Amino acid sequence: MSANWERLRVDSATVAPNRRRGGDLRVTLSPKTVEATSGFGGVLSLEPGEFVTEHYHPYSEEFLHVVSGALEMTMDGTPVRLAAGQSLLVPIGVRHRLRNVGTVRAEAVFHLSPLAPRPDLGHVDTEEAIRPAEPHPRVQEPR
């Protein structure tokens, strides 16, 4: 009997964007989508000048890899410039805000691990969401 590996593949074009904190964020691989057990990840795009509001993760590290464009991650008040091909680790508990500082759309891939004990504990907003009426990204079902 062969495994059904197709169930573990997710096309980002089929995932609804989440714009609550800014940008176009799509969680592709997560406990909810592919029954991942150690974290979640996806893709993010930001138009020039667009940003993701400041927040931190009390339980997870965030791995960010810039695919195209120019981004700036402000971590605990210190800006860090990122170009295509560069990656950045945001440690657990570090406040961070991501902004497109270029003149074209920026694309990035992200992964957070480990998972928070409950979905509502995964992110702590330190800046008001751009679209507060939109739901938080759903990466797992509440336990």
Query: In the structure encoding, which two tokens stand for residue 8, read together?
Result: 């573990």
Average pLDDT, the chain: 93
Q: Are 99 and 50 in contact, with CB atoms under 8 Å apart?
A: yes
Q: Are 126 and 96 in contact, with CB atoms under 8 Å apart?
A: no
Helix, strand, coil % over all residues of the chain, rounded to 5: 10, 40, 50
Note the pTM of the prediction, 2 decimals. 0.91
Identify the residue whose tokens are 């996806």. 42
**106-113/96-100 β-pairing:** unpaired
pLDDT per position as a tens digit, 85-143:
999 999 999 999 999 999 999 999 999 999 999 888 999 999 999 998 888 887 866 54
Main-chain dihedrals φ then ψ at residue 119, nearest 5 degrees: -55, -35
Query: In the structure encoding, which two tokens stand for residue 115, read together?
Result: 């998972």
